[in-house]
Every structure is written in C-alpha cells, then in structure tokens.
A and B are shown apart, each in its own frame.
Chain A
Amino acid sequence: MLFNSLDFALFFPIVFIGYWFIFNKNLNVQNAFLLIASCFFYACWDWRFLFLLAFSILSNYFFADKIDKEVRPRSRKLLLIAIIIINAGLLCYFKYCNFFIESFQDAFFLFNIKLNFSILHIILPLGISFYTFQNLSYVTDVYRKHTSAVKQLLPYSLYVSFFPTILSGPIERANHLIPQIIAIRKFNYTLAVNGMRMVLLGLFEKVVIGDSCAVIVNSIYADFESQSGSTLFCTAILYSFQIYGDFSGYSHIAIGCAALLGFHLRDNFNYPYLAKNIADFWRRWHISFSGWLRDYIYFPLGGSKKGALIRIRNLFIVFVFSGLWHGANFTFIIYGGIHAILFVIHIYFSKWGGSAKSYAVRSILSIFATFTVLALARVFFRAPSVAVALKYFHIIFSASLFTKPSVSRLILVLLFFYMMLEWFQKDKKHLLDISFIKQKYIRYSIYLVMLFCVFYFSGQSQSFVYFKF
C-alpha cells in the first residue's frame, strides 16, 4: 500500500476515525488498534514478512530488557554484541547475501579461479533497513543508559512497526517516540493542521516533482549512450530532483500522517538543496539517518577527537557504510566514498573564508556548486553498475556538453522556480508552512492549486525509490 495510492486514501481515514472516535477511550486499546493497522499496512505488501518483523521486535525487546536488568558491564556488552549480530545478520542475509556471493566469485575470478555458487532468490523485505536501524538505536541507547528498556511489548511493537515510518523512516529514536506512545494523546489542532499541510506537500513532491522527473530520467537512462553530454548533465540534475521529491515527499507524508494521529516525528529534510557545502547538506538531507550514523558509528569510532587521520578514517567508514546501506552494489560504495572525499576536502578548505561583503554572492555560488557536485555524484547512485556510471560521465564530459540539451527547458525552469520558493521559505519548518499568510482565501487557494496538481499528475501509483533500500 503506497502513500500515493487510492488504497491508502481509503485506509488512512478509516484508521483516523477508528483511532480518534472509536478506540480512544483506553490508551492500550488505542495503541493496539494502531498496531493492528500497522500490521495490516505492512501485510498488504507481503504478509509472510510480518513474522520476520515480529521476530525482530521480540528479539530486540527481550535483549534490551536483559541489558537493562544486567548490572555486570561485561555481560551487558556481550548481550549488546549478540543482538547487534542478530540484527546485522538479518540485514546481511536479506540485503547483502547475493552481493557477497557475487563479489566473492568476482574476486576469485581475478585469479582465474572459477567458483560456481548459485545466487539465492531472496526477496528484500520492505523497510528492513529502517526498522533494523530503529531497533539497533534502541538497544544501544538502553546499553548506554540513554533510555530505559520499555516495560511493555505493545508500545515497543508500535514503535518499530508504526505504519507511517516502517517502510522508509524517518528513523525514530526510542526516547523520542516511545514516550509519546505511552502518553495519553489528545487531538492537537495545530499539529493536525500542520500534518495535513505536510501530507499535501509530500504528495505534491512525490507525484508532481518526483514522478514527473522519473519519467524523463528513466527514458533517458534507457538509451543514455545516444544522448548528448548536455542532456545527460540535465538528466543528472533531474534525477536529483526525482529522488528529492520522492524521498522528501515520503517523509513529509509520513510525518504528516503521524501528526494527524497526534505524534510528533523528527524532521527528515530541511531544504537540502540549499546546502552551502557537503557538511551542511548532510545536516539537511535524510536527517534521521545521518544523525543515526553520527551517534552510533562516527562518535563510537572516535569522531573528530582523535586526530586528523583518525577523523578521515572515520569519515570514510561512515560514508562507505551509508553508501552500502542504500544497496548491495559497488556503485553505492563509490557514492559513499565520493561523499567522504568531498567531506574531507570541505573540512580542510573551509578555513579559507571570504570577506563579509561577498557573503551573499558566495552563498549562492556555494549552493550551486554543492548541488552540481552532488547531482553528478548521484550518477553512481542511479546507474546499475560502475561501468555504466563511468560511461555516463564519459559522455557528459565530452564536447557534446556544450550542445543544446534535448530535455524540456520548461521543467528545468519550473524546478528552478521551486527552488526559489524553497529559498523564500527557508526559515520555515517546511515549504507549505504558510500560516504567516493571514488571508484565509489565499491559503486555501494555494492548497487547492496544489491539490489540483497532485490529481492532475497522479495516475498509476509509482513506488518510492527508497523502498528498495
């Protein structure tokens, strides 16, 4: 069941009515209802993986409980290692098994040794990367005593399987979401209105921006070898908008739906394409994930406190890991590596400041430069193999880069206009945070125009790119 489908348009109002009007008398009943709705939502994709989800919830719940009760540091550590291995094992099996088999075979083939391991036919369970990370953050926080173990299974199950977040995040922290789950919720008008705005914005981003760009990007990628460098350059930019519309759209709908149910989720995007450098970008893009990487990998490795070389090593580990998290392919590893290199360059060259007078010009130039570099790096993200990505770059950086691109100029202009709107709204929580417009009819007109655009561009529901991660 996709957020941008008719099925969800029927599902959510039913949940909303049941949640606020029928099962609202008792918190446990209300949570149980939400858990059942979440399971139904997940089962709509493949009910068999509910068992995997249940196993993941139960194992993390019980291990966290054990860690919490255990006083001996060594035992606590062993328990933590055990549950990390279980979580990582599940993730590796479902997501990386074939990648490792193929890489192993390729490595031996370099030495003329042919291994014939057959590839396993494994279905990647939707959302496994997201809920596994959520589980890992919980057990680690319990181990670090940043949070205490949840005493009841129901709130924890809901924390992991909460339907707005289970498939593609935001990756919530236990100490942020669980207190909300165990507290009595009252309908919050401001939160709900903001939630509706975010749902509308998310649909607009997904259906109007993401899916429209996807049509162009897919058709050009299907035959990229016969395209000019300028067309491929524009396509790389369009792909950046596709993935932004797609993922930011998903996150906004998820946060909006949760808000309508009285939950306040963490922000996941904060105008990432207005970032002035790579560090700024990672503070704005997939915030819940970059925060997770920082708190559970970068800091434990020593962060930036153990000298320059260790810091560089840590950055590479974090970014290569983040690349690999996106998928089992060398393209993602290179993508992560590029980000690490950009980060290192940024750290050591950011000390060269400019004069205060040139600040505005420098900001705009930095935004353009950061966006362009990241858009080009995303070629590795989109390409099915490293060879294809290199071929793509070979065409981009040829003489044909200076020819007229065969991509609709209108869509590029509209996207530029969209970025301008983001620029004007950059101090607001999100693009549709228009409560400062006092005239109701102007606000409503904006909503209606956006609603019309969503309907106009909608049709066959397109899946979200991040589902495959």
Chain B
Amino acid sequence: MYTLSFNMRVFITKLSFFFVIIVMAWGGVEWIYRCVPNIYSYKNKIVQLNYNNCKVLILGNSHTYYGLNPDDFKEAAFNLANVSQTLLFDGILLNKHIAYFKKLECVVIPVEYSSLTTQDDHPDLEWRKYFYSEQMHLDMPGVHALNARSLSLALAPQFSFTVSNIKKYAKEGTLADCSLKGWGRYNGVNPKMNNPLAGKRVAQRHEDGLMDFSKNLGRLKNMLVVCRKKNIKVILVTMPVTSYYRDNIDNKKLTAIVRECNVLANREEVSYLNLFDDTRFTNDDFYDADHLNATGAKKCSRIVDATIQ
C-alpha cells in the first residue's frame, strides 16, 4: 500500500483547507437551488394547478413574462414564459403540458427580434437547460449523465448569477417572484435602464448578426402543428419595445422577421400581432429598454386579449 510522504501529507492537508471551503460553498449553493423554490420549480408547480381551468397559455421569454398579465385577460390565462426562454424551450414545454390542459383554447407564442436566430448554445442560455431538465422535468437535448453540469445545478450558471440570486433571496426571501398565474411584475420606470444608451446596449446584445431563421421557424411550425391537432387557436405576437431599443436594431432583419411571421400566419391560418412599432406604447410603459412595466403590461395584455376574442 502506498504511504504518503511527509511533504505530500502536508501539501494535501493544506490543500484540503481550500477544498473544504469550495465543497461547502458548492453544497450551500446546491442546497439553495434545490430546496428554495425558484422560477423554474415554482412555475412547474403552479402550471399544474392551472390544468383544469386555463384557457389561454402564454409562452415566451422575459418580454411576455413581464409583459402579459393573465389577470388582465377575460378568460382564465396562465403565463408559462420565463427569462431567456427560447422557442426551443417553448416547444418542449408546450409538448409536455398541452395534453394536461382540459380547457385550453388559445396559445400565445411571442416571436421577438432575436427569437428566430437564437442559437441553442448561446452562453447566456445554454446553462438554463439544466434547470429546465432538473426542475421542470423536461427532456432537454444535450443533458446527460456524462455531463458534469447536469449533476449539479450550482455548477450550471455563472457564479455571479448565483451570487445575485443569493442576494435576492436574502433581500426578498424568495427566488420565485411571479404571481400565482406566472406573471412577473416590474413597477415604474428605471431611468438607468430606460434611456438611449441602455437601449443601444441591449439592442447590441440582442444582435447576433444572423439571418438564418430556418431552425427556429421549424420549431415554431411544429408548435403550430401541435396546437392545430388539438384544435387550439394560436396568436403569434411580437412584443413592444422602447424607441431607444427600436432605433438601434437592424431594420432589414426586423422586416424579414415580420415577413416570415406574416407568411407563416397566413399559411397556417393563425393570427399575427405585431406590436413592435405600436404607437399606443410610450417609453413610460417600460421598466427598461425592452420590458414592459405593470402599466404597459396591462395595456399590452388587453390588446392581446382583444385579438384572442
């Protein structure tokens, strides 16, 4: 049997001091992600409570998560949107839950400026699949036992994100800050994030320079097929943004997106509501450059609801 030399023993003893700290920190973070309800685990729980009465299901990313309040819809609605939820996740969520909704009549699917070109391996999005897999019990491509990150939620996102989550939990006492219908509330206007410079920065962040829509259009079409089979109406919607954001996007790309949505809507006989340039919204309806606040959400929800009716 190998006996440790004195030097090696000292080295390992000292190293284990740091190792213990790392393991403790990792364990703490893992505990937070697994035991404290967060937006993924909470939504997964409350969506099931809405299976029996929900008539309108809202999918999409943060634009619809903050921008469409189910309480402002005439029919019972549920917001299953989440921050950075792409069409990939929308599709998998729809496929998983649609069979359980007993009264579902309409699905709202947003198509945003970045929706059709988002790549699955985008660093801001890639880690989220582990949360969808673990906490929303979805079969995510690329999540398997050999991938170390799929074994630990603490290792999935950036540590800075985890730190901000811990701060949020310490301050607000929750990581699941949406309503019982799944809506996230932004109050008022944040002048630091709702200004020309912020608009430019966010638009630049959303600009990937890609014009190939085929993959995400395919996902969108699959979702329409699933809904048609169940005789469920679909509303495609492009959510409003501030003028600061709008002024900094590639108009050619936007035109192409709107054209694709119109073609798809005509072909599949679904409605398409383009609110991107809608003058009914002012910059005061937004919390930041591209997310509606509670007032804007009320306005937007009523417009979408009117389209459904």
Contacts and interface: CB of A to CB of B under 8 A. Distances in A.
Interface stretch (B2-10, B52-60, B106-114): B2-10
Given A447-B18, A459-B157, A460-B123, A21 B2 contact: yes
Given A20-B8, A192-B11, A223-B204, A7 B127 contact: no
A20 B158 CA distance: 33
B160 interface: yes
B159 A456 contact: yes
Contacts of B15: 196
Given A187-B5, A444-B17, A458 B11 contact: no
B178 interface: no
A10 interface: yes
Given A6-B155, A447-B18, A456-B163, A188 B123 contact: no
Contacts of B127: 459-460
Interface string A191-207: 01100100000000000
A430 to B, nearest CB: 19
16 contacts: A6-B155, A7-B148, A186-B5, A187-B8, A189-B7, A189-B8, A193-B14, A222-B204, A223-B204, A447-B18, A456-B160, A457-B160, A459-B158, A460-B123, A460-B126, A460-B158
Contacts of A7: 148
Contacts of A21: 2
B204 A187 contact: no
Nearest 9 CB-CB pairings of A with B? A459-B158, A460-B123, A189-B7, A455-B159, A6-B148, A187-B8, A456-B159, A21-B2, A456-B160
B307 to A, nearest CB: 36
A444 B19 CA distance: 13
B298 interface: no
B299 to A, nearest CB: 32
B204 A189 contact: no
Contact of B11 (A10, A193, A447, A460): A193
B11 A189 contact: yes
Interface residues of B, number: 29
Interface string A423-453: 0000000000000000000001001100100
Nearest to B155: A6
Interface of A: 6-7, 10, 20-22, 24, 186-189, 192-193, 196, 219, 222-223, 406, 444, 447-448, 451, 455-460
B256 interface: no
A222 B5 CA distance: 54
Nearest to A222: B204
Contacts of A192: 7, 11
B229 to A, nearest CB: 37
A374 B14 CA distance: 41
Contacts of B18: 447-448, 451
B253 interface: no
B184 to A, nearest CB: 23
A82 to B, nearest CB: 44
Contacts of A6: 148-149, 155
A459 B159 contact: yes
Given A7-B148, A193-B11, A458-B159, 20 more contacts: A6-B148, A6-B149, A21-B2, A186-B5, A187-B5, A187-B11, A189-B7, A189-B8, A189-B10, A222-B207, A223-B204, A451-B18, A451-B21, A455-B25, A456-B159, A457-B160, A459-B127, A459-B157, A459-B158, A459-B161
B23 interface: no
A10 B8 contact: no
A334 B10 CA distance: 52
Contacts of B161: 459
Contacts of B149: 6
Given A10-B148, A459-B160, A448 B21 contact: yes
Contacts of B126: 460
B36 to A, nearest CB: 20
A192 B10 CA distance: 11
B221 to A, nearest CB: 30
Interface string B17-37: 110011001000000000000
Given A6-B155, A459-B157, A187 B7 contact: yes
B123 A459 contact: yes
B289 to A, nearest CB: 15
B22 A451 contact: yes
A7 to B, nearest CB: 7
A323 B161 CA distance: 39
A321 B155 CA distance: 43
B250 to A, nearest CB: 11
Contact of A219 (B2, B5, B158, B204): B204
Contacts of A406: 197
Nearest to A440: B14
Contacts of B123: 459-460
Interface in B124-142: 126-127
Contacts of B7: 187-189, 192
Nearest to B209: A222
A192 B13 CA distance: 13
Contacts of B11: 187, 189, 192-193
Contacts of A189: 7-8, 10-11
Contacts of B14: 193
A186 B22 CA distance: 28
A455 B25 CA distance: 11
B4 to A, nearest CB: 8
A271 B10 CA distance: 31
A457 B160 CA distance: 6
A6 B18 CA distance: 17
Contacts of B22: 451
Interface string B184-206: 00000000000001000000110
Nearest to B26: A455
A448 B18 CA distance: 8
A64 B126 CA distance: 48
A337 B158 CA distance: 41
A459 B22 CA distance: 16
B147 to A, nearest CB: 9
Nearest to B160: A456
Contacts of B197: 406
A25 to B, nearest CB: 9
Contacts of A460: 123, 126-127, 158
Nearest to B152: A6
A430 B155 CA distance: 30
A14 to B, nearest CB: 13
Contacts of A455: 25, 159
A389 to B, nearest CB: 20
Contacts of B204: 219, 222-223
A319 B158 CA distance: 40
A259 B123 CA distance: 32
Contacts of B159: 455-459
A455 B21 CA distance: 13
A460 B126 CA distance: 9
A447 B25 CA distance: 15
